[in-house]
Amino acid sequence: PFERILMYTDGIPEISLPNGTVLGMRRFAQIYERTRNQDLKDAAAAIVQLADQTQQGKPQTDDWTFTLIEWKGEGLGVTLQH
């Protein structure tokens, strides 16, 4: 029904966990997957909330920059002339 793209910097995947490891791409992908059925605004808020919970009270040491882009169906019907 729709296509969604997540673009991000290294901040969330490099969250330091209490055990001394980092969140990593696999766990970040799992966080993203949990939000797939939410609208964009709610999904973005959920990603931040889940990332914050992952830190377990540790201070944020890097930016958490990301954007979600969603395409919902047909284009605008614009034809480009060459």
**How confident is the model over 18-72, as pLDDT tens digits?**
888 999 999 999 999 999 889 999 999 999 999 999 888 888 889 999 999 998 8
Least confident of 9-13, 40-44, 78-82: 78-82
Residues 32 and 64: beta-carbon distance below 8 Å: no
Distant-in-sequence contacts of 23-26, Cβ < 8 A, 24+ apart = 23/51, 23/54
| 78 contacts: CB under 8 Å, gap ≥ 6 | none
